[in-house]
Amino acid sequence: MRTTGLYKRFGQQIAVGGVDLVVPRGSFAGLVGPNGAGKTTSLSMVTGLLRPDAGTIHIDGFDVWLDPVAVKARIGVLPEGLRLFERLSGRELLSYNGQLRGLPKREVEQRAEELLTVMDLKDSADKLVVDYSTGMRKKIGLSAALLHNPAVLFLDEPFEGVDPVSANTLVEVLQRYTASGSTVVFSSHVMDLVERLCDWVSVMSRGQIVAQGPLDQVRAGRSLNQAFLDLVGAGRDNDGSGEEGLSWLGSSRA
Ligand SMILES: Nc1ncnc2c1ncn2[C@@H]1O[C@H](COP(=O)(O)OP(=O)(O)OP(=O)(O)O)[C@@H](O)[C@H]1O
């Protein structure tokens, strides 16, 4: 997938300021950047949820905003905030998604059972989604996004609030998925995880791409965390040294 000159402004705030995001087919790609860098805004535009002010987005050769039906058939999305149909059970949610995607009912049932088993959600399959924990919501959301076997999967903070065991399950499913040639693009603040999983990294800061390429190229001999700090740490308003402000915080008294 590729974006060219992607741009979005909210009032005076330029959230995404002309971004050329590139993710080669078959990559396990990480989109990283500080809070407010423009990751969610970019992913929302790329997945057809938010209309860009300018720029183009192509996925599998199709223009996201000119050919939305073709694109939506080829992508799966786990959006930020994960608004799911709460009054359905996990199994019903998958069945509903499968039918929306136009899959045959038998096929949906079979895929749903396999996903529920792999995600360790079988015992909760008939519980309402509203009663799911954060990690369970991520897992059922990912299952719903995978059900139609999309070519490209977009995940906004998929591991946020997920315990290590569930995270491991998500990782195994995603690794299997990319090993077969499909593409994953996910945003995360967890550098260790991005470093462990991704072969491609895009670093955003203040609405711009500041580094992009194969993991080793972006790391350039450093840990990804250090590379991240070097790339986006310099020039930020607060250098975190604590030398200014917050002098009142802590137990030592003058
Ligand atoms: N609907 C909106 N209205 C106004 N400003 C917005 C809106 N959505 C995002 N922004 C602004 O755009 C900028 C980019 O936000 P975005 O959510 O894309 O960042 P992010 O990289 O996903 O951050 P985080 O890591 O904290 O989730 C921020 O300054 C944010 O305040």
Q: Label the pairing between strands 2-10 and 54-59.
A: antiparallel
Kindly indicate the confidence band of residue 237, based on its pLDDT and cuts at 50, 70 and 90. low
Angle, CA of 151, 115 and 72, to the nearest 5°: 30
**Closest listed residue to residue 105, CA positions, set 117, 91, 116, 118:** 91
Q: How far is the CA of 112 from the centre of ligand 1 (A)?
A: 34
Fold of 2-233: Rossmann fold (3.40.50)
Q: Is the pLDDT of residue 241 over 90?
A: no
pTM: 0.90
List pLDDT tens digits, range 171-193: 999 999 999 999 999 999 889 99
Stated as kind and residue range, the H or E segment containing 185 is: strand 183-187
List pLDDT tens digits, range 74-121: 999 988 777 788 899 999 999 999 999 999 999 999 999 999 999 999
**Closest listed residue to residue 78, CA positions, set 107, 117, 119:** 119
Alpha helices in 105-163 (DSSP H): 105-118, 134-146
The ipTM, to two decimals, is: 0.96
Q: Name the closest-CA residue to atom 24, ligand 1.
A: 35
Q: Tell me the mean pLDDT in the region 179-208.
A: 94
Q: Tell me the mean pLDDT in the region 58-83.
A: 91
Q: Name the closest-CA residue to atom 6, ligand 1.
A: 10
Q: Name the closest-CA residue to atom 1, ligand 1.
A: 10
Query: What are the residues whose beta carbons fall under 8 Å from the beta carbon of 117, sequence distance 6 or more?
Result: none
Q: Tell me the mean pLDDT in the region 59-86.
A: 90
